[in-house]
Structure 1
Amino acid sequence: MTEILQISCDEAGHTGPDLLEKDQRYFTFASVSIPDPEAFDTIQRVRALYPVQMPELKASRLMASRRGRKLILELLKACEGRYIVSLYDKLLALCGWFFEYIYEPVYQHNPRLLYEKNLHRFVAMYAWLWMSDGESNARGTIEQFQKYMRTRDPADAPFLFDSPRPPLSPEGQEHPFETVLRFAYGYRDTIIADNAQLDTALPDGGRWTLDLSASGLWSHLNYWGAAGKPLSVRCDVSKPLQSIAPYFTGDERDPGIRRARMKRHPDALGWRLFKPIDFVDSRNHPAVQLADVVAGTAAVMITQGFPTGCEEISEAISRHVHEHSILPDLDVVNLANRSAAVNALILYDLAKRAERQGDPYENLEQMYRIAEVSWVRGDYNLMGDIGQQ
């Protein structure tokens, strides 16, 4: 019989579909490939070395003391190479959803070019940068977007869909983020109609549309599935995951895999489940407790900026960070880079198309090619090229 890989999962920093909770800026999802009996022995051994007064290990409390940090480090050493953790900046994740639910509906029939050119990452980082602009209502836009995605009522997002649209800047001058808003308003009917289908297309009527748990679990199933062994998966009880778990088939029926193929995802994808995913009480499953400690430790570390004195813990966590983590990368919007400079021009062009209700696909590939060649030759001028549109 093919060996079964036992996987246990847990998360930290969960706030459901509310990704703007000010006291919980980060979400983490962890999984370990350790059977319960081994996890139990590991926890008992480490607790004997560093006794702590808590029935169930919690990273947030352990990280507050020197002994607790030593305990965590010993656990991480014991699990070396057998765990993985995803890190999410929630605001950036929400900005990523912005691309998926504002731009992608317009390009739903063939979005591959935009993904190949990393426009999705450019829009996400572009939006993320402007959310910190305290002198405008750019953050108000993303707050309205989150509310709209929970209700699917365009009246909840006047910055996106109303005309005349409220100004972002009090001075009356066009704010750079207006480029994105002009696209949303120009194609508003297409966007609204497509997103309205989420009520019937997604589990629980799309209640968990913005929740990050499903993204974390899907990525980890692909990670462990690459070993080629059937997976026996346990997760701490989670309403969002329980609602979507039946859709995680690991084959071409899987919605996430179909989307990844549409975007020409380069990695091998898929997994086989030995049985349906189990949802359990972590108190009765030591391996889930280990996953909880990993997720909680990662959440504390990233929230505190990987503090001094925790270097060994930082290094251990860093070695096990999943590549699908969502964290800010300023290179994506650095106009000194070809990809960023070209995408800035394309973003402006798409806004102009939206305003005239133009064909969103018309000459798009050619425009990318011209802009890229111009950049390579050194005669690319972003503001000059925009002025000629």
Structure 2
Amino acid sequence: MYCDESGFTGNDLLDQGSTYFAYASVAINHEEATEYVNNIIQKYKLQGGELKGRNLLKSTKGKKVIAEILSTFKDRIKVGVYHKKFNLACKFYEYIFEPPLSEKSSLFYQIKFHRFISNILYLDFVCRSEEAEKIFSDFQNLMRKKPNYLFSSSETPDMSPLDDIKTFCIHHRDTINQELNSLQGTDIGKWILELSTSALFSILCDWGKEFNQLKVFCDVSKPLKENKELFDVWIGIKDKIYFDFFQGVEEPITFNLSQEVQFVESDKFPGIQIADVAAAACAYAFKEGVNQNTESWIEHIPGMVIGKSVIPDESYTDPNTLDATRNLILLRYLAEKSINKQPLLDGIEEFLSAVTHDLNLNPSNRIATIAENSRSDAPYFNF
């Protein structure tokens, strides 16, 4: 497996010039990759002696090269695609909501509460809510160890979903800070927001479904090298373990490496160049969509993108669904418990069971509940 990325901005997920991060891999041996890259460089008379995805995207000829590469290797490429701002919203849940809820975190993941919170934050951000922009900016600064307070406790909530989130953060600041402080001085803490490590791990798990053992080469990456021990533990692991992540669909959480992950220079390993082209093409296609610049090769991309990619999905805030309504009620419940300094998790199963029962019996309550708890300018609660 040869792996490379496109759109890397490290811990800065609010970079204005780069919306998507893509991490790509290709299953190929060194000899085949060398022969293929040399032939395509000669065929198209490319300059520089090396394939670079960002350069190929700049010209009509380059896009033809991309189309040929994706068509040739479409069944041997896997790519993880990550919307950066949305990933910041997902990490917000992981590091802000997860610590106070950790004793029963699996319950909240089962009802997709994490997806609800992440999509609310993201959608509020894209509609240019000043409150959401402040949340994102403050959170990123906090995680990057810049002196900052996430919120001011003097702010008065106005009972919108976003203010319920703010209320939750204010009242559980000590628990959240304790979790973040535990990561200080570690490599995980240093690269806490960057996406390369989780992307590579997800891709290798996906390849593990097809191959019993993997030999992995990555383009030189500082965060991956510093997190190398996270991959070393999978050397010689032959057992395949699956986990039910979503509605009965089991996905692997293991893979077997034949050796340590190798970090190599792309000019000496053409397989890296093929992965670079795939990553650049996917990041560009997700940003631009189908147009005259992508129509010759975008058709190949859906089959390459792994299921563990992380991109926004508004269906998790759809007011017509039981899940969205229940999660909105749950958010308000957690905010009120926080204000009253009551234990968050006492009786949580009974509460959710009662809410689910009521919403199933009275579907009309869904829209009424959403309408009572939404701001008029929130795009995810307008109908």
Work out whether residues 213 and 240 of structure 1, in 8 Å CA contact, stay in contact via their aligned partners in 2: yes
Distance in 1, matches of 2:228 and 2:68, equals: 33
Work out whether residues 47 and 71 of structure 1, in 8 Å CA contact, stay in contact via their aligned partners in 2: no
**Residue 216 (str. 1) matches residue 206 (str. 2):** no
Distance in 1, matches of 2:180 and 2:364, equals: 37
2:262 counterpart letter in structure 1: D
1:1-389 paired onto structure 2 within 5 Å: 7-151=1-145, 156-159=148-151, 162-165=152-155, 173=158, 175-200=160-185, 202-203=186-187, 206-249=189-232, 266-379=250-363, 381-382=365-366
TM-score (normalised: structure 1): 0.87
Work out whether residues 42 and 78 of structure 1, in 8 Å CA contact, stay in contact via their aligned partners in 2: no
Question: What are structure 1's unaligned runs of at least 5 residues?
Answer: 1-6
Work out whether residues 226 and 270 of structure 1, in 8 Å CA contact, stay in contact via their aligned partners in 2: no
Equivalent in the alignment of 2:379: none
Seen in structure 2, the aligned counterparts of structure 1 residues 295 and 262 have a Cα distance that, compared at 3 Å, is: closer
Following superposition, the deviation at residue 65 of structure 1 comes to 2.0
Distance in 2, matches of 1:309 and 1:251, equals: 40
Q: What do residues 298-342 of structure 1 show as CA deviations (whole Å, max 9, x unaligned)?
A: 112122223235324111111111111111111111111111111
The aligned length equals 368
Seen in structure 2, the aligned counterparts of structure 1 residues 379 and 62 have a Cα distance that, compared at 3 Å, is: closer
Seen in structure 2, the aligned counterparts of structure 1 residues 247 and 158 have a Cα distance that, compared at 3 Å, is: closer
Question: Which secondary structure state, in structure 1, belongs to the residue aligned with residue 225 of structure 2?
Answer: helix
Seen in structure 2, the aligned counterparts of structure 1 residues 237 and 174 have a Cα distance that, compared at 3 Å, is: same
Seen in structure 2, the aligned counterparts of structure 1 residues 164 and 383 have a Cα distance that, compared at 3 Å, is: farther
Q: What do residues 9-32 of structure 1 show as CA deviations (whole Å, max 9, x unaligned)?
A: 000000001100101111000001
Work out whether residues 250 and 270 of structure 1, in 8 Å CA contact, stay in contact via their aligned partners in 2: no
Following superposition, the deviation at residue 376 of structure 1 comes to 2.0
1:310 counterpart letter in structure 2: T
Following superposition, the deviation at residue 175 of structure 1 comes to 4.7
TM-score (normalised: structure 2): 0.89
Question: Which secondary structure state, in structure 1, belongs to the residue aligned with residue 308 of structure 2?
Answer: coil
Q: What do residues 282-306 of structure 1 show as CA deviations (whole Å, max 9, x unaligned)?
A: 1110001110110011112122223
Seen in structure 2, the aligned counterparts of structure 1 residues 189 and 369 have a Cα distance that, compared at 3 Å, is: same
Work out whether residues 41 and 49 of structure 2, in 8 Å CA contact, stay in contact via their aligned partners in 1: no
Q: CA RMSD in A?
A: 2.7
Q: What do residues 100-143 of structure 1 show as CA deviations (whole Å, max 9, x unaligned)?
A: 00111012223000000101111100100111243533211111
Aligned structure 1 segments of 4 or more residues deviating by more than 4 angstroms: 249-252, 260-265, 382-388
Work out whether residues 26 and 299 of structure 1, in 8 Å CA contact, stay in contact via their aligned partners in 2: yes
Work out whether residues 168 and 338 of structure 2, in 8 Å CA contact, stay in contact via their aligned partners in 1: yes
Q: What do residues 155-194 of structure 1 show as CA deviations (whole Å, max 9, x unaligned)?
A: 51342xx3213x69xxxx5554111010111111111112
Question: Which secondary structure state, in structure 2, belongs to the residue aligned with residue 318 of structure 1?
Answer: coil
Question: What are structure 2's unaligned runs of at least 5 residues?
Answer: 374-383
